[in-house]
Amino acid sequence: MATVTSLLLVLSWTACGVSLQRHGLSHLNPRAESTDCSLYQVSGQSATPFENYRFMDFRSLSNYTTSEPAQITSRQDSGDETVTSPYFNSSAFEDVFQILSGVKNPDSHPPMVYSAQNAYISAAGSADGSDTYMTFRTSRNQDFQSIAQMRSIENVLHASMRICMKVLEDSNDTVAAGAVVGFFTYESDTQETDIEILTRRSHHQFQATNQPVSSTAPPGTANVSLPTGKNWTDWAEYRVDWLKGQTIWYINDQVGYQTTNSVPTEASALTLNLWSNGGSFSGNMSVGAQVRIAVQYIEMVYNTTDGQTSGGSGTQCSVDGVKTKGEPQVVQTSGAVTTCIAAPGLFFGLVILLLYL
Ligand X SMILES: *[C@@H]1O[C@H](CO)[C@@H](O)[C@H](O)[C@H]1NC(C)=O
Smaller CB separation from ligand X, 312 or 349 = 312
Distances (CA, A) of 133 to 4, 9, 161, 353, 354: 30, 22, 18, 45, 45
| Alpha carbon 226 to its chain's center | 15
* Binding footprint of ligand X, residue count (CB under 6 A): 30
Distances (CA, A) of 300 to 52, 247, 293, 304: 8, 15, 19, 12
Binding characters for ligand X, 223-252, by CB under 6 A (x = yes)? x-------x-xx------------------
Site for ligand X, residues 297 to 356, rule: CB under 6 A: 303
Dihedral angle of Cα 56, 58, 64, 67, to the nearest 10 degrees: 140
Minimum CB separation of residue 336 from ligand X in Å reads 25
As a residue count, the chain comes to 357
Question: Could you say whether residue 265 binds ligand X (CB under 6 A)?
Answer: no
Q: In terms of C-beta distances under 8 Å and separation of at least 24 residues, what long-range contacts does 328-332 make, across chains too?
A: 328/34, 328/37, 328/40, 328/53, 329/26, 329/29, 329/31, 329/32, 329/34, 330/29, 330/30, 330/31, 330/32, 330/33, 330/34, 330/36, 330/37, 331/29, 331/30, 331/41
Task: Give the binding range for ligand X (CB under 6 A) out of 29-37, 148-156, 254-262, 318-326.
Answer: 148-156
Question: Could you say whether residue 171 binds ligand X (CB under 6 A)?
Answer: yes
Is residue 110 reached through a cis peptide bond, with omega within 30 degrees of 0 on the bond before it? yes
Question: Could you say whether residue 52 binds ligand X (CB under 6 A)?
Answer: yes
Smaller CB separation from ligand X, 156 or 195 = 156
Task: Give the binding range for ligand X (CB under 6 A) out of 35-43, 117-125, 181-189, 221-229.
Answer: 221-229
3-state secondary structure of 103: strand
Question: Could you say whether residue 222 binds ligand X (CB under 6 A)?
Answer: yes
Q: Which amino acid is at 120?
A: Y
Question: Could you say whether residue 269 binds ligand X (CB under 6 A)?
Answer: no
Q: 63: how many CB neighbours lie within 10 A of its CB? A: 10
Minimum CB separation of residue 44 from ligand X in Å reads 20
Pairwise CA distance, residues 57 & 49, whole Å: 23
Among 44, 111, 278, 344, binds ligand X (CB under 6 A): 278
Task: Give the binding range for ligand X (CB under 6 A) out of 15-23, 154-162, 312-320, 331-339.
Answer: 154-162
Question: Could you say whether residue 203 binds ligand X (CB under 6 A)?
Answer: yes
| Burial call 246-261: b when 16+ CB within 10 Å, e when fewer | bbbbbbbbeebbbbee
Task: Give the binding range for ligand X (CB under 6 A) out of 30-38, 133-141, 155-163, 182-190.
Answer: 155-163
Question: Could you say whether residue 66 binds ligand X (CB under 6 A)?
Answer: no
Minimum CB separation of residue 188 from ligand X in Å reads 15
Question: Could you say whether residue 267 binds ligand X (CB under 6 A)?
Answer: yes
User: Which residues form the interface with ligand X (CB under 6 A)?
Assistant: 52, 60, 63, 82-83, 85-86, 89, 109, 154-157, 170-172, 201, 203, 221-223, 231, 233-234, 267, 278, 280, 283-284, 303
